[in-house]
Structure 1
Amino acid sequence: MVKNNKRLEDLDRAYIWHPFTQMRDWINDTPIVITEGRDCFIKDTYGRWYIDGVSSMWVNIHGHARKEINAALINQLSHISHSTLLGLANEPSVEFAGKLVSLISEHLKTDKLNKVFYSDNGSTAVEAALKMAFQYMQHTKKCADAVFVTLGNGYHGDTIGAVSAGGIDLFHKTYAPLLFKTIKAPSPYCFSCPDGILSDETDAPSKYRCTADGEFPCLTKLRNILEHLTPNVAAVLIEPLIQAAGGMITAPVGYLKAVRNLCTKFDTLLIADEVATGFGRTGTMFACEHEGVVPDILCLSKGITGGYLPLAVTIATEKVYNAFLGEFAEMKTFFNGHSYTGNQLGCAAALASLEIFEKDNVLNNLKPKIKILRDWLNSIFNHPHVSDVRVYGLMAGIELIKDKATMEPFQFEEKAGWQVAHEARKRSVFIRPLGNVLVIMPPLAISQENLSAMLIRIEKSIDAAFK
């Protein structure tokens, strides 16, 4: 067994180029090779189980090896695994689109978001949204120089359009010569809360409202951009409530609704990138639900299949969809698509995932878990190496600091987040940081007991990393 473990580790070092990874560091370490998953745990080749503290990169919802999703996939495999959606339809994609539109209608209280465009992942969902909005401008406003307004600290994926819309220099600066220009509005993270996280999610700290008229300063700048650029703005693209890859940056309560109102006022499409926040992550089915916001285009992926298979959707309003209707010769067709668009296996898994949401009463069962997480974050905020804590639902970030008294930060090369992550592995917890920010995003199905155990181990890991 040990011999085979070493063989796998050597093969990995020899042939695999891992994403977002400095490979010199990787090949000098011992890779963790995963062989099995159960519930909120993953097991390596040595038989050691780890709590999956980041839901296998934010995708796993109901835990690993759910029998209901397994059965759905086996059933679908007995019929057909894939046929193209270019010129054909298929049963699982039709069924899932119908259920998803119904779910959106129930949770966002609208029947306007009803046109489902399939793709493969979060990047392609956003890419499709950008192209939809741009082409919509050509059809409706005949605008040849349309631009997108995006946010600082934003992250929307790694394809060129999605990177163009991003706002994180660490990830995006290298590719600047390849990107199209976007207009950056400020990130909505205006201030951290000096007393830790909020005890009540419905309350925003007064510090956020620091202009004379009570408007968030980041909103004032967005308003100025829209006033100056209208009618050239194709869309405003945001991550509702929390900028995940930007460091779990939470927006003040009311910001999302205010952005929706500005887009309506200036006749601009609003694209909500809920790739990370959709399917219960923030405590409601969709993040937009918290403030009663209906975007013009909604992007979903990650948890859509329960963490089983790549699948994404870009959902548009009928108003956007209708702008693409015309005579064949008018060339109004939406020229976008992928080989595995609407894949039957992915859609079968997604259908089974929605059934689990209802059967397991997932959203209601999140409430005590969210309280456990928030209470622990309020406690860990007092740690001498924690400068800030941020949370929405079961999405949390812990910002590490070198010296809390002087607010001296850890330098990038000190790899503070990774020091804690490596200590966590010793304690059978897998987490992956964003720079100096520890990310906590376990499967929604994690038990209260396992959640509490994970948090205790993470706290001990912070202590051990900087003792």
Structure 2
Amino acid sequence: MPIAFPNSLHARDVEYLLHPVTNARRHEETGPIVIDRGEGIYVYDDEGKGYIEAMAGLWSVAVGFGETRIADAARRQMARLPYYHSFSHKSNEPAILLAERLVRMTPERLTRVFFTNSGSEANDTVVKMLWYVNNARGKPEKKVILSRQNAYHGITITSGSLTGLPTNHRDFDLPNIPVRHLTCPHFWRYGQPGETEEAFTDRLVAELESVIAEVGPENIAALIGEPLMGAGGVLPPPAGYWPRVQEVLRRNDILLVADEVINGFGRIGTTFACEYYGIDADVLVLSKQLTSSYAPLAAIVFSDEIYQGIADNSAKIGTFAHGFTASGHPVSCAVALENLDVIAEKRLIETAAEKGEVLQGVLARFRDHPLVGEVRGLGLIAAVELVANKETKAKFDPVGRVGAYLFNRGHEHGVIIRAIGDQIAFCPPLIITENEIAEMVARFGRALDDTAAWVASGGLAA
């Protein structure tokens, strides 16, 4: 039986809900923080305590909480057409308008859109699309997907296999599709002693070429990558990485899938991270800030070459037999259209670059803190990595306990951050102001000092 909680809502949560990415037994002891409402960069629990949402929910609430324009757009669409599917030659106006808008926003080569409900479903769908096309091309052996260690591409069986985080694989029997995970492109952590950043890139490219030669380019369908890795710890790529990788892929007839589920719509200060890093992707995967997570939606934007292969094969066998009940959901698409209007009218993409410089500069002050090994990021996404030894970069043992303590102290100080092991991530709403950035980081700083005192007092060994 669950432990009795004074708040009946908390008790009912513990009794009935299984939470994602949560220690279920630990949750039985602690119960939830029940978030009741949101306004701007703040959320408030059911006891009235306010928190700066330094993670924009889950990397996603670009326009902040409580944007009435989006709620009104959803209400209007609910009243007109609350749902319809897009199977068997059916469509709806919001889905058509959003597809057109995304094609106009994205690079010129990307001309077609397929809607899903989440980034996980989108990346799962991408794999199926590529397998479908390669079968139609008479290349049924071309099925292997290249990914990277520490990558996050979702949590379904297929997208979870693409993900390169051991926790997401353990006891789920993943990976279970043909996937090869390459070295994580994080120079600070994985660069060798005396190795320059450029030499690190050379080594990663050499590894890519070696794996392609080993597996055979005729067996590899695509490489999938986040331009800047998010849930693996906010990891910008090393200098020259993406142009070099892209050249190797093109030379070997291997497609490039850019997962911009976190990066897209202004997070790093450009509309898409592909622009910043010079990536010419064959497939672009979008979600999260597409609707600011006010409604579930993801989009796959892909090249005409891929579309023609799908279309020809669907004509040959009678159908493209893939889709979801809510693909192109009219309310979600209406929400996305209004959300993109808000982002454009408030110039959130343009100002993200300016405010990102402020965030990166303020966080950089923690580089001298005794627990901090690295501060990194770009635009309005950043991470502070905690280490046991600043000189050797040695991790705490066990990994994650110090990060979890800091995460909980953040709640006490009114800021919701994310602990990825001992890497503390920041990804605030794009509407955040410079003064709010200062307050967010100040609250984090107090939590960090509490954590340093706990470590110094032997808390980790207790």
TM > 0.5 between the two? yes
Q: By how many angstroms is 1:329 displaced?
A: 6.4
- TM-score, length basis structure 2: 0.92
Q: Secondary structure at the match of 2:218?
A: coil
Q: Which amino acid aligns with 1:396?
A: A
**Alignment pair present for 1:132 and 2:129:** yes
Q: Secondary structure at the match of 1:458?
A: helix
Counterpart-to-counterpart distance in 2, 1:391 and 1:286: 15
- Evaluate the alpha carbon distance shift between residue 292 and residue 141 of structure 1 in structure 2; reply closer, same or farther with a 3 A threshold: farther
2:417 to 428, 431, 436: 431
Map of 1:25-64 to 2, 5 A cutoff? 25-64=26-65
Number of the residue aligned with 1:282: 268
**Alignment pair present for 1:209 and 2:198:** yes
Number of the residue aligned with 1:365: 351
8 Å CA contact retained: 1:147, 1:181? yes
8 Å CA contact retained: 2:13, 2:31? no
8 Å CA contact retained: 1:161, 1:179? yes
2:226 to 236, 239, 245: 239
- Evaluate the alpha carbon distance shift between residue 327 and residue 416 of structure 1 in structure 2; reply closer, same or farther with a 3 A threshold: closer
8 Å CA contact retained: 1:300, 1:312? yes
2:169 to 168, 172, 189: 172
Counterpart-to-counterpart distance in 1, 2:286 and 2:349: 18
Q: Which amino acid aligns with 2:440?
A: M
Map of 1:289-328 to 2, 5 A cutoff? 289-326=275-312
Cα distance per residue 1:269-308 (max 9 Å; x no partner): 1111111111111111111111232211111111110220
Number of the residue aligned with 2:111: 114
Q: Secondary structure at the match of 1:316?
A: strand
Number of the residue aligned with 1:394: 380
Q: How many residues align?
A: 446
**Alignment pair present for 1:149 and 2:146:** yes
Q: Secondary structure at the match of 2:128?
A: helix
Identity within the alignment, % = 28
**Alignment pair present for 1:334 and 2:320:** yes
Q: By how many angstroms is 1:368 displaced?
A: 2.9
User: Which deviates further from its counterpart, 445-454 or 414-423?
Assistant: 414-423
Q: Secondary structure at the match of 2:279?
A: coil
1:96 to 98, 105, 114: 98
Counterpart-to-counterpart distance in 1, 2:378 and 2:313: 46
8 Å CA contact retained: 1:400, 1:436? yes
Counterpart-to-counterpart distance in 1, 2:304 and 2:78: 33
Counterpart-to-counterpart distance in 2, 1:315 and 1:5: 49
Q: Secondary structure at the match of 1:264?
A: helix
Counterpart-to-counterpart distance in 2, 1:62 and 1:454: 17
8 Å CA contact retained: 1:116, 1:314? yes
Counterpart-to-counterpart distance in 2, 1:120 and 1:452: 35
Counterpart-to-counterpart distance in 2, 1:407 and 1:315: 40
Counterpart-to-counterpart distance in 2, 1:177 and 1:4: 37
Q: Which amino acid aligns with 1:457?
A: R
**Alignment pair present for 1:441 and 2:432:** no
8 Å CA contact retained: 2:242, 2:278? no
Counterpart-to-counterpart distance in 2, 1:54 and 1:34: 14
Q: By how many angstroms is 1:120 displaced?
A: 0.5
Off by >6 Å, runs of 4+ in structure 1: none
8 Å CA contact retained: 1:76, 1:344? yes
Counterpart-to-counterpart distance in 2, 1:243 and 1:97: 26
Q: By how many angstroms is 1:143 displaced?
A: 2.7
1:163 to 160, 165, 168: 160
Q: Secondary structure at the match of 2:375?
A: strand
Counterpart-to-counterpart distance in 2, 1:177 and 1:367: 37
- Evaluate the alpha carbon distance shift between residue 166 and residue 454 of structure 1 in structure 2; reply closer, same or farther with a 3 A threshold: same
Number of the residue aligned with 1:201: none
Counterpart-to-counterpart distance in 1, 2:238 and 2:185: 7
Counterpart-to-counterpart distance in 2, 1:8 and 1:400: 35
Counterpart-to-counterpart distance in 2, 1:314 and 1:139: 20
8 Å CA contact retained: 2:270, 2:353? no
User: Which deviates further from its counterpart, 134-143 or 393-402?
Assistant: 134-143
Q: Which amino acid aligns with 1:210?
A: A
Counterpart-to-counterpart distance in 2, 1:327 and 1:35: 48
Unpaired runs of at least 5, structure 2: 454-462
- Evaluate the alpha carbon distance shift between residue 177 and residue 379 of structure 1 in structure 2; reply closer, same or farther with a 3 A threshold: closer
Q: Secondary structure at the match of 1:337?
A: coil
**Alignment pair present for 1:187 and 2:184:** yes
- Evaluate the alpha carbon distance shift between residue 167 and residue 4 of structure 1 in structure 2; reply closer, same or farther with a 3 A threshold: closer
Cα distance per residue 1:390-426 (max 9 Å; x no partner): 2021111111112335544212366111111111111
Q: Secondary structure at the match of 1:314?
A: strand
Counterpart-to-counterpart distance in 2, 1:174 and 1:190: 30
Unpaired runs of at least 5, structure 1: 195-204
Q: By how many angstroms is 1:432 displaced?
A: 2.1
Q: By how many angstroms is 1:350 displaced?
A: 0.4
- Evaluate the alpha carbon distance shift between residue 124 and residue 286 of structure 1 in structure 2; reply closer, same or farther with a 3 A threshold: same
Counterpart-to-counterpart distance in 2, 1:296 and 1:182: 19
Q: By how many angstroms is 1:216 displaced?
A: 2.4
Counterpart-to-counterpart distance in 2, 1:400 and 1:413: 10
Map of 1:56-95 to 2, 5 A cutoff? 56-87=57-88, 88-95=90-97
Counterpart-to-counterpart distance in 2, 1:327 and 1:53: 46
Counterpart-to-counterpart distance in 1, 2:369 and 2:205: 33
User: Which deviates further from its counterpart, 400-409 or 229-238?
Assistant: 400-409
Q: By how many angstroms is 1:149 displaced?
A: 1.2
Number of the residue aligned with 1:202: none
